Chains A and B, each alone.
Chain A
Amino acid sequence: MEQPVLQWQAGTVTAIRPETLKTKSFTLALPKWMAHRPGQHYDVRLTAPVTAPDGYQTQRSYSIASAPERMGELELTVERIEDGEVSPYLHDVLVPGDQLEVRGPIGGYFVWEVSLGGPLLLIAGGSGVVPLMAMLRHRAAQHATMPTRMLYSSRTADDVIYRDELDALAASDRTFEVFFSFTRQPPEVFFTFTRQPPTGWTGYRRRIDAAMLGEVIKPFDKRARVYLCGPTLLVEAVANTLVQMELPTEQIRTERFGPSGA
């Protein structure tokens, strides 16, 4: 397995695309791009000009959203945190042509590749969907067919990142299904593609709980390979529930993002 020497490099922003009101995807061209493993992240470092008291520096980690098959460039999807230090800079100041210092790709634990097989259950809370999207995009690029389900919890329908792409993927790939759950305002009408879409089904209208997990995991039962990512409290609650449902712990991989955004 290749172990990159971790060095900072200056990436160039080539495109910025809004995904939802609070999230944007940033495409970076890297002088030393290397194929990552889906689920990995890059560290991003900002340095204030030397006029600041001590050449102030700060750093964050952002999951890679793009598949490694998309060669030469990298996509990071970032949620804008209201009182944040870095995400408001990325959203409000950065423009295509700007440089961004990054290092990576990083991580070996929260990683899935087609060779690891399925059945695959991807559980996302909010922006936790980003590394799981890299996994799905990689799976699609490889034309893989292991049964795969995503359970994606958001505040509202407007907060669903990659909505169109997920719907299109589910529509075109009968081995993939996506289930949405909304913790705040549920939408009036929201279609989701399952094997048997109930008419006008509007998604789950509550936090992920044991009943919901039981329904979604049912066809996979205890063979499911689970990747769970999102705010820490969601990950803790869902992971504990899965363990209580007697899913073998070695089949559960988790990534905690800390507190959720506003």
Chain B
Amino acid sequence: MAGLISRGFLGRRRPAEVESRLPPGQYLVTDFPVLSAGPTPHTPLDKWSFTMEGLVRSPKTWSWAEFQKLPTETFTVDISCVTKWTKWSWAEFQKLPTETFTVDISCVTKWTKLDTKWLGVTVDTLLQAVQVDPAAHYVMAFSDGGYTTNLPLDEMVQGQAFVAFQFDDKPLAPEHGGPARLVVPHLYFWKSAKWIRGLRFMERDQPGFWESLGYHIHGDPWKEERYSGD
């Protein structure tokens, strides 16, 4: 990489003791960086809705009040951002009576954050309310403000994805995606759409907001799938 080496500049940290738990190319953070592609949407809760549409037998919409009544679970996860941050904690899968999962999450901007605690509804629970067309293999998550991101349906089931509305035992803050966001811990965090308003079921994979502009269509941090062609 071209560039004058800056004497004494150390860059970011990747401590040896957590080396094996950080996906390749990620750095450790202990705060929760705010990343955003636009201003915070401010949909009032009485206007908020979550919709399952596309290749489903009949679309299903929940209001905020109805969404809150769905069975919820607590998740503690590590997250990784493609911008190379990793905030990390001791992660293990646990099942408490309300189903607790412990995972790591990573952002493509290279940070990984550990021990992040969420309360939310699994996509499995949401899928019980609709009959998805067998031809639907992919999902486009869509959010207030126009953001979209695509995922394989089989990577959203069996507890791999949830719609969270609490973080660290508090209502999810607007700058972190509140009132509700998608959390998909095993992929780069750009797939965990903030301000989510629904899922659209599709037959074929289609690139979302960042996937259509150079980012990897899948985004597995452990395979360092950051950019298309990786």
Contacts and interface: CB of A to CB of B under 8 A. Distances in A.
Query: Do the two chains touch directly in the complex (Cβ atoms below 8 Å apart)?
Result: yes
Interface of A: 8, 10, 45-50, 52-58, 83, 85, 89, 93, 98-101
Contact of A47 (B9, B14, B25, B31): B9
A54 B1 contact: yes
A43 to B, nearest CB: 12
A48 B11 contact: yes
A48 B4 contact: no
Nearest to B4: A101
Contact of A56 (B4, B8, B12): B12
B9 A8 contact: no
Given A45-B3, A47-B1, A101-B3, A58 B8 contact: no
A32 to B, nearest CB: 14
A182 B6 CA distance: 37
11 contacts: A45-B3, A48-B10, A49-B9, A54-B1, A56-B12, A57-B3, A89-B8, A89-B9, A98-B7, A99-B4, A100-B6
B2 to A, nearest CB: 8
Interface in B4-26: 4-12, 14, 25
A206 B24 CA distance: 49
Tell me the dominant secondary structure on chain B's binding face.
loop
Given A53-B25, A54-B25, A47 B10 contact: no
Tell me the dominant secondary structure on chain A's binding face.
loop
Contacts, number: 52
A84 to B, nearest CB: 12
Given A54-B1, A57-B1, A46 B25 contact: no
Question: Considering residues A56, A58, A101, which has the most beta carbons from chain B within 10 angstroms of its beta carbon?
Answer: A56
A52 B13 CA distance: 9
B3 A8 contact: yes
Contact of A48 (B6, B25, B31): B6
Which 5 A-B pairs have CB atoms at the shortest separation, nearest pair first?
A48-B11, A56-B11, A47-B3, A55-B1, A101-B4
A58 B226 CA distance: 18
Interface string B42-86: 000000000000000000000000000000000000000000000
B50 to A, nearest CB: 31
B1 A93 contact: no
A89 B12 CA distance: 12
A256 B185 CA distance: 34
Contact of A93 (B4, B9, B25): B9
Contacts of A56: 11-12
A5 to B, nearest CB: 16
Question: Considering residues B9, B14, B31, which has the most beta carbons from chain A within 10 angstroms of its beta carbon?
Answer: B9
B6 A47 contact: yes
Contacts of B11: 46, 48, 52, 56, 58
Contacts of B7: 93, 98-99
B40 to A, nearest CB: 13
Nearest to A44: B6
Nearest to B31: A83
A56 B9 CA distance: 10
Given A58-B11, A93-B7, 8 more contacts: A10-B4, A45-B3, A45-B4, A46-B6, A47-B3, A47-B4, A55-B1, A83-B31
A101 B2 CA distance: 11
A128 B11 CA distance: 26
